[in-house]
Chains A and B, each alone.
Chain A
Amino acid sequence: ILIQVYLSIYFLIL
Chain B
Amino acid sequence: MLELRLVQGSLLKKVLEAIKDLVNDANFDCSATGFSLQAMDSSHVALVALLLRSEGFEHYRCDRNLSMGMNLNNMSKMLKCAGNDDIITIKADDGSDTVTFMFESPNQDKIADFEMKLMDIDSEHLGIPEAEYQAIVRMPSSEFARICKDLSSIGDTVVISVTKEGVKFSTRGDIGTANVVCRQNTTVDKPEEATVIEMQEPVSLTFALRYMNSFTKATPLSGTVTISLSSDLPIVVEYKIAEMGYIRFYLAPKIED
Give the interface of A toward B (CB within 8 A).
Answer: 1-14
Give, as a whole number of angstroms, the nearest-CB distance from B130 to chain A: 12
B252 sits at the interface (CB 8 A): yes
Q: Which of B216-257 contact A (CB under 8 A)?
A: 232-234, 250, 252-257
Chain A residues closer than 8 Å to B45, beta-carbon distance: 4-7
Chain A residues closer than 8 Å to B176, beta-carbon distance: none
Chain A residues closer than 8 Å to B256, beta-carbon distance: 1-3
> Which of B44, B45, B252, B253 counts the most A-chain CB atoms under 10 A from its CB?
B252
Q: Is the CB of A7 within 8 A of B127?
A: no
Cα(A4)–Cα(B44), bound, Å: 10
Chain B residues closer than 8 Å to A7, beta-carbon distance: 40, 44-47, 126, 234, 250, 252
B175 sits at the interface (CB 8 A): no
Nearest first, the 9 closest Cβ-Cβ pairs linking A and B are A12-B127, A11-B126, A2-B254, A5-B252, A1-B257, A14-B125, A3-B257, A14-B127, A6-B44
Chain B residues closer than 8 Å to A2, beta-carbon distance: 157, 206, 254-257
Cα(A2)–Cα(B256), bound, Å: 5
Known: A8-B44, A10-B233. A3 touches B125 (CB 8 A): no
Identify 17 new A-B residue pairs, CB closer than 8 A, beyond the known A1-B257, A11-B234: A1-B256, A2-B254, A3-B255, A3-B257, A4-B208, A6-B252, A7-B40, A7-B44, A7-B45, A7-B126, A7-B250, A8-B44, A9-B252, A10-B233, A11-B47, A11-B129, A13-B124
